[in-house]
Amino acid sequence: MQNQGVRRKKKQLIHEMFMQGNSYKEIAETIGSNAAAVGHSVRLYRQKEPDQWPRVRNYIEPLTIEVQVYNCCDCSALFAIENNIEIQNDATCPFCWEKEHLIEIGINKLKVDEKKIG
């Protein structure tokens, strides 16, 4: 019974990541498997529920950038800035225009559509 629960969770996670446009490799890294095994699972899932696993995805690999997330403890704004040392040095709260109250929350990965940035 427990096995079934684990399997269902794994399927949910794969589905979520699949629909977000992650590659089999990225999904495999997240669930601790390999790309071929994930591809195999997706094929099996698709046989049972073809509507849930659309084959044609108008998918372009998004650009992944690293961003530093900041919290301004003055106005409580939460914002992220590209993780680039030159930019970080000048980081200011976009609302208060100062840097004294900024707390570094951590580095995050952000996927962006390359066509939309200059």
- Quick count: other Cβ atoms within 10 Å of Cβ 55? 7
We find the least distance from the C-beta atom of residue 35 to Zn ion, in angstroms, to be: 43
65 SS3 class: strand
Closer CB to Zn ion, 35 or 81, in the complex: 81
In 3D, which of 5, 13, 61, 2 has the Cα closest to residue 41?
13
- Quick count: other Cβ atoms within 10 Å of Cβ 33? 16
Closer CB to Zn ion, 46 or 101, in the complex: 101
Binding segment for Zn ion (CB under 5 A), chosen from 12-20, 22-30, 50-58, 77-85, is 77-85
Closer CB to Zn ion, 34 or 76, in the complex: 76
Within residues 86-105, the interface with Zn ion by CB under 5 A covers 93, 95-96
Angstrom distance (rounded) from CA 28 to CA 90: 37
Within residues 17-76, the interface with Zn ion by CB under 5 A covers 72, 74-75
We find the least distance from the C-beta atom of residue 97 to Zn ion, in angstroms, to be: 8
Residue 105 has phi, psi (to 5 degrees) of: -85, -35
What residue ranges bind Zn ion (CB under 5 A)?
A: 72, 74-75, 77, 93, 95-96
